[in-house]
Amino acid sequence: MKRLLSRNETLVAITIIGLSLIIGFNNPVFFSVGNLFTLLRTSVVTGILAMGVLIVIISGGIDVSFTAIAVFGLYVAVKMMKGFMPDAPIWVGFAIASLVGLGLGLINAFFIAHYRLPTLIVTLGTLSMFHGFLLFAIGNEIIRDVPPALTQFARSAIVRIPLERGQANLHPAILITVAAIIVTWLLLNFTMLGRGIYALGGSREAAERAGFNVNRIQYFIYGFVGFLSGIAGMTFGALARQANPQDIVGMELNVIAAVVLGGAQLTGGYGTVLGTVLGVILVILANNSLILIGVPTVWQRVVIGLIILVGTGIPAIQARRAGKRSFGLADI
C-alpha cells in the first residue's frame, strides 16, 4: 500500500479526484454529461501530442517542434484538399497531414541521430524554421472555407444524449486519441523497439553495448512524433473547421507539462502511458474547469504552474530521499 501511494500516478490520480470534487461541489455543472463530453473533446489534441512527447522524454530527449509540425501538416493538407480534391473524404486529409508530419519529424531525426546535436537545440531551431517556412512560403491566411469533409467530421458524434437545452455529443475524435494511447502502450511495453527507447534514455552507451541501433531508434522516435503531430494537427483543424497557421504553436509547455506530471523523468529512462494520460487529464481540468469555480483566466496559469511545481517536485524529493537511504545502506 505504501509503495502504491508513493507512485507518481497515484499522486496525480488523487490530485485529479480532489480537484474534481472541489470544482464539482462549487459548481454542479462540472459533473454533467455535457461538460464531460466537452472535456473529452478538449483533451483529444493534447492527448495525441502527449503520446509522442512521452517517447521522446523516455529516450532522454526534448522535442518542442511538434506544434509547428502539427500546424504545418494541417495547413498543407487543407490547401491540397481545397486545390486538388475538394470532395475527398476526411481520411485523405489525415493521410496527407500525417505524411507531412512524418517527413518533418525525420528532418529532426537526421540532425539528432547523425550529428548528435542536443535535441532541445535542434527542435528549437526547427520549430522556428518549420513555422517560418509555413508562414512565408505556403500561406499565412486563415482558411475558413474548409472542404466539406472537415465540416462533416466536426458535426459527427458517436453518442448523442438529449439535454434540457440541446444535446451532448461525444465526438469520434476521441477514438483517435484512444488509438494513439493503445499503440504507444503496446510499443513501449511489448516490443524490442520499446525496450530500446527505455535503454536509450537510461544510457546511450549502454544501449549501444546491448546491441540496439541507436540511430534507427532515434529516426523512429522523431518520425513517430511527427506522424502523430500531423494527425493531431488535422484533428484540431477539423474540429475547429479552419486552418489557421498561428494555431497550436504555443501548446508545447502544456503538453510537456502533462507528460512530466505523469511521472516521465526529463533525464530519460522512465515514463508510463498511464501516467501521461493522468497528466493530460489534470492539465485539461486545470485549463478548462477552474473558471467554473470563479478562478479568472489570468490566474489559471498561476494555478497550473503551482500544480506542475508540486506534481514534479514531490516525486523528485522522494527520489532524492530514496537515493540517500540507498547510499547510507551501501556505506553500512
Phi, psi of 168, deg, nearest 5: -100, 130
**Contact yes or no for 260/272 (Cβ under 8 A):** no
- What 3-state class would DSSP assign to 101? helix
Q: Which CATH architecture has domain 2-331?
A: Orthogonal Bundle (1.10)
Give the pLDDT confidence score for residue 322 in this predicted structure. Answer: 64
* CA 265/CA 3 separation, integer angstroms: 18
- pTM reported for the whole predicted model: 0.92
* CA 259/CA 125 separation, integer angstroms: 22
Q: Cβ neighbours of residue 77 under 8 Å, at least 6 residues apart?
A: 93, 94, 96, 97, 100, 230, 233, 234, 237
- What 3-state class would DSSP assign to 58? helix
Q: What's the angle, vertex CA 37, arms to CA 41 and CA 26, rounded to 5?
A: 115
**Contact yes or no for 299/93 (Cβ under 8 A):** no
Write down the domain spans for the chain: 2-331
Taking 70 as the pLDDT cut, the residues of the chain under it are 1-6, 297, 300, 307-308, 310-316, 318-319, 322-332
